[in-house]
Amino acid sequence: MNVSVIGCGYVGLVAAVCLAKLGHRITLVDVDEQKIEMLNNCQAPIHEPDVEEALSQSDLEVTSDYDCISNSDLILLCVSTPTTDDGFISLEYITQASEQLAQVLKKKLDYCVVVVKSTVVPGTTTDVVIPILEKSGKKAGIDFGVCMVPEFLAEGKAIYDFMNPMRIVIGEYDTRSGDMASQLYQSLGAPILRTNPITAEMIKYASNTFLATKISFINEIGNICKLLGIDTYEVARGMGADDRIGSKFLNAGLGFGGSCLPKDIKALISRVKQMGYEPRILEEVWNLNEHQGANLVALLKKHILLKGSTVGLLGLAFKPETDDIRESRAIRLVKVLLKEGATIRAYDPAAVENFKCLFPQIEYVSSQKVLASDAIIIVTEWEEFSHLDYRGKIVIDGRRVPKAMEAKVYEGLCW
Ligand code: UDX
Ligand code: UDX
Q: Which ligand is nearest to the CA of 82?
A: 1
Torsion sign over Cα 132, 137, 140, 145: negative
Ligand 1 atom closest to 80 (CA): 3
- pLDDT (tens digit, 9 = 90+) per residue, 73-120? 999 999 999 988 888 899 999 999 999 999 999 999 999 999 999 999
Q: How would DSSP label each residue in 181-194?
A: HHHHHGGG---EEE
Predicted local confidence at residue 145, as pLDDT: 98
Sheet holding 409-412, edge to edge: 363-364, 343-347, 310-314, 375-378, 394-397, 409-412
Instruction: Kindly indicate the confidence band of residue 137, based on its pLDDT and cuts at 50, 70 and 90.
Output: very high
Instruction: Kindly report the protein residue whose alpha carbon is nearest to atom 20 of ligand 2.
Output: 256
- Nearest CA residue ID for atom 24, ligand 2: 256
Question: Which atom of ligand 1 lies nearest, measured to the CA of 11?
Answer: 11
Instruction: Output the pTM of the full model.
Output: 0.95
Q: What are phi and psi of 235, to 5 degrees?
A: -60, -45
Nearest to 200 by CA among 161, 154, 169, 177: 169
Amino acid at 247: S
Tell me if 342 sits within 8 A of 311, measured CB to CB. Answer: yes
Of 187, 193, 201, 173, the C-alpha closest to 1 is 187
pLDDT of residue 337: 97
- Percent of the chain's residues with pLDDT above 70: 100
Going from the Cα of 135 to the center of ligand 1, the distance in angstroms, rounded, reads 23
> What pLDDT is attached to residue 48?
87
Give SS3 for 229: coil
Burial 138-157 (b: 16+ CB within 10 A, else e): eebeebbbbbbbbbbbebbe
Residue 153 beta carbon below 6 angstroms from any ligand 2 atom: yes
Residue 46 pLDDT grade (very low, low, confident, very high; cuts 50, 70, 90): confident
Ligand 1 centroid, distance to 78 Cα (angstroms): 6
For the stretch 202-236, pLDDT in tens is 999 999 999 999 999 999 999 999 999 999 999 99
Reported as a pLDDT band with limits 50, 70 and 90, residue 356 is very high
Bridge-based pairing state of the strands 2-6 and 25-29 = parallel
Q: Which atom of ligand 2 is nearest to the CA of 119?
A: 7
Is residue 168 a contact partner of residue 183, using CB atoms and an 8 Å limit? no
